[in-house]
Amino acid sequence: MTEKSQIDKQAALDRLGTMEDAERKVSGAIDPGARALVVAVAVLVLLLSFALPHTGSANGWDVLAGDADAVAESIALPSRIFVWLTLVFAVIFSTLALVTQKWALAWIALYGSGVATVFGLLAIWSRQTLPSTSTAAGPGIGLVLAWIVVAILTFHWLRAVWLRSTAQLAAAERRRIATAEADARAERGPADFS
């Protein structure tokens, strides 16, 4: 092997190494772009919805704490699960994913918000199907608002994670092309210009 071919091979390996580094960097991060503002506003609206009536005189904070108002309103298990899932995944993990822009946290926020959306629907349904002898109120504005906002958050996290996956696939494709070109050059061997 000539000195020039060794230098060319080293340059190709260096270029390939930087592409792998770029792919690794893309694979661990998200870029929510304008969605970051939507997610931030949605998180704030969710926190506001906890202060609004969840059902009757019980607000979301009462449901979280299992307060006397929540007990008096006969809060069912789906409502309690929904409020906790909303707090943990739609508020806390969404905030962490926005601040750190970590892909894994965005996935956790997505999955948790998706499950919370299902439990939100069950919570509303359970408040609408109370026995006729019950004196408890139906779903309040806080519960309905929180359910809608969690569904919106789920959609936005799905889009952010999906776009991130497309960027990662593009980086991987560029690395595969560079690897194939480097292999093809290595198989051809050094060019003989004499």
The CA distance from 171 to 167, in Å, is 6
Q: Is residue 68, in this structure, part of any structural domain at all? A: yes
Higher pLDDT, 17 or 159: 159
Q: Is residue 119, in this structure, part of any structural domain at all? A: yes
pLDDT tens-digit map of 131-176? 777 777 889 999 999 999 999 999 999 988 887 666 677 777 887 8
Q: Is residue 87, in this structure, part of any structural domain at all? A: yes
Residues 6+ apart with CB under 8 A from 108: 89, 93, 97
**9 — pLDDT class (breaks 50, 70, 90):** low
Give the model's pLDDT for residue 10. 59
**Candidate from 10-19, 23-32, 184-193 with smallest mean pLDDT:** 10-19
Q: Is residue 9, in this structure, part of any structural domain at all? A: no
What 8-state DSSP symbol labels residue 88? I
Overall domain count for the chain: 1
**Domain interval for residue 143:** 34-187
Query: Is pLDDT at 13 greater than 70 in this prediction?
Result: no
**30 — pLDDT class (breaks 50, 70, 90):** confident
Q: Is residue 84, in this structure, part of any structural domain at all? A: yes
Average pLDDT over residues 45-65: 93
Q: Is residue 194, in this structure, part of any structural domain at all? A: no
Give the model's pLDDT for residue 6. 55
Q: Is residue 12, in this structure, part of any structural domain at all? A: no
**Candidate from 12-21, 84-93, 133-142 with smallest mean pLDDT:** 12-21
Query: Helix 35-51 to helix 141-188 angle, to the nearest 10 degrees?
Result: 150
- The one-letter amino acid code at 20 reads E
Q: Is residue 106, in this structure, part of any structural domain at all? A: yes
